[in-house]
Structure 1
């Protein structure tokens, strides 16, 4: 489908206000200067509110000794948040026309995630998913509305894809009602079946036509959400340390935790942005694996902040878990983050065995840090920082000897 010849505010920087209605047609995949819009940034910030709520409830569950149920609820709720965010981001990359109706429907999606966020505590504490289900349905029905708008102006295979998206999204919402009407022991199975169904909708919809998503724009959107999640991790850890210092005289215990936490987050940022991943996103197969895999990247990054809060609570005696369990709350999500970023990002840009093994080996050492007692967080921070330093040294050394086949970048 030929995109509208009129430049959009997102692509051309026009100062004119948005039109009430504009044809929702596909944008050019190779459009220059395609960057995130203010509406997308606002969308991200509102979604991180729900991420913060899920993280806070995970902290409470783990600190009270209910790690199994806490992790299960966290995984389920984080999927709802992440999936709605991801679907909007890919749709916006292909179809954002920035008219008034598009903005209003997007604001409805934001309202949906705030409803979901309001119900997270009830879901964790009382296994009441009514508000969560309602908020999710609001987001997904709004998303189906956008696809129907795209279908109205599309033709041929593009129209079929848009209709399949809308129908698939609406049909799956019927199944999610099982979280509300079925008994608690059946809900994890409902979640598993319906999550698989949600994931299959894009695969089915795009069998014969690929939407015109923009590789650079998608890479930027994922990177921005990673930054926001890591920022939330720092904020959560800071609040935890501040509260502990106010109520307990334990600064000597908390300083190593704070230092280790900062090293972990700083290293996590460096490792993620060490390589320009947009050049790797060329096919639907690559993009599906990369986009879906970020569920683990985002969830583990947010869980690191929750783990730091758990460690702080354990160190000042306000939790009911062992030092080993508290340490694992930081080391395990950190190791998962390192492995998933390596699988999705770094391994595509590594040359030689030495560069390839840095992050997997660092992940293994981080898991070993779990058994270092009160020094586990600081040791984890040191390991991740060393992984960054070694990656930089190996890349610089290879470039200096003229063996680097790609432009030298400060990789980890």
Structure 2
């Protein structure tokens, strides 16, 4: 893959790329170690939203947490893309990840006060991670895969432009204006892949020529899902430990735990392995990875964070009559997860799953009708109903796949 053209000799002389071979797609232990920072980040996002809801600032908290979640996800997913090309077992790449962990911890610890006194710390850590990692990756690729290196360099320029709005937001005192400026910054970054990271004089990237190791990116996304679902269980366990053991609280704990198991089954029973196979067979694997594992997975992660928030509220007030905010979270959070799961599975070749569509509709009906038809029910009752719906979707999905498999076998005459 090395070019002989002297005009294209740029970047590091040392070959930092992953080598081809039996274990080329393997996720390294260092990558797993790096992900520990994001366990803390996702936990802080959930706690921050719970705190905002307790203060009666649900809408403001949701908007702020959404921007922060999109930033956390973006820095993680682009690091995953970097290690899809660069070998984490090579010393320079290893040091890059360790330094990113340091800044990632600064970013994560600043999340509760990102719209307070630690805005500048949050932004500085985030921007340094995005620009420094992208520039390092571009230099690591430039000499050996010039076209991919140039693509990542385009990405670096886009991060530099969005940094203007990140810092501008951090330096203003008005929280609404800060939210708006940060919203502009994250919108620029999320529009980057859609526009092909077009840059004056450099043009745009061609995704069909972008090398991708499908097995690695699928496994990395799957591991992040485990982290996010694990965070939900941690929040549930911590909240349960802080309250006396009583029937309503215990029922709320069991409902939350079973719900987390259902989330795990909905992702890992079918989608995780299917994504890797679909990428390997597709004519444009990088486009599939960009759609399925870059954009759609953030909906899944958002659903998990919201489920964790709902579980914490249920455990804190199991026997209290549910508010509309609580109702929207208890039923809306799993609906967001099911939507992300449905779109992800569709993007990797699955049909439109009736189980997921029916589950989303059922959850939305409960949000709109529960307070009218059965007003006054407690948090824990609604939590149990939501969990039952998720269990029904898990069973329905299995029946969907078996039915589709039977039809495929009948059509092929076997």
**Shorter-chain TM-score range:** 0.7 to 0.9
CA–CA distance in 1 between the matches of 2:145 and 2:390? 50
Secondary structure of the corresponding residue to residue 41 of structure 1: helix
- 1:57-103: CA deviation from partner (whole Å, max 9, x where unpaired): 11111123211111111111111111000000011112225322211
Residues 1:180 and 2:170 aligned together? yes
The structure 1 residue matched to 2:67, chosen from 66, 76, 91, is 76
CA–CA distance in 2 between the matches of 1:348 and 1:164? 27
The normalised TM-score by structure 2 is 0.83
CA contact (8 A) 2:86 2:137 kept: no
CA–CA distance in 2 between the matches of 1:347 and 1:207? 22
CA–CA distance in 2 between the matches of 1:83 and 1:171? 15
Question: Structure 1 residues 177, 398: CA separation in 2 closer, same or farther (over 3 Å shift)?
Answer: closer
After the TM superposition, which residues 83-102 of structure 1 pair with which residues of structure 2 at under 5 Å, given as runs? 83-96=74-87, 98-102=89-93
1:268 maps to which residue? 263
Secondary structure of the corresponding residue to residue 243 of structure 2: helix
Secondary structure of the corresponding residue to residue 177 of structure 1: helix
Residues 1:338 and 2:331 aligned together? no
CA contact (8 A) 1:110 1:139 kept: no
CA–CA distance in 2 between the matches of 1:54 and 1:60? 10
CA–CA distance in 1 between the matches of 2:264 and 2:310? 17
Structure 2: runs of 5+ lacking an equivalent: 4-12, 199-203
After the TM superposition, which residues 5-404 of structure 1 pair with which residues of structure 2 at under 5 Å, given as runs? 22-25=14-17, 28=20, 34-96=25-87, 98-124=89-115, 126=116, 128-154=118-144, 156-182=146-172, 183-202=174-193, 203-204=196-197, 207-208=205-206, 210-245=209-244, 251-273=246-268, 274-275=270-271, 276-281=274-279, 282=282, 283=284, 284-290=286-292, 291-315=294-318, 322-346=322-346, 348-350=348-350, 356-370=353-367, 371=370, 373-374=377-378, 375-397=381-403, 399=405, 403=409
**Cα RMSD for the two superposed structures:** 2.8
Q: CA deviation at 1:231?
A: 0.7
CA–CA distance in 2 between the matches of 1:212 and 1:55? 35
CA–CA distance in 2 between the matches of 1:361 and 1:109? 42
Structure 1: runs of 5+ lacking an equivalent: 4-20, 407-412
CA contact (8 A) 1:369 1:379 kept: no
CA contact (8 A) 2:355 2:400 kept: no
CA contact (8 A) 2:107 2:122 kept: yes
Q: CA deviation at 1:363?
A: 1.4
Question: Structure 1 residues 405, 129: CA separation in 2 closer, same or farther (over 3 Å shift)?
Answer: farther
CA–CA distance in 1 between the matches of 2:171 and 2:83? 33
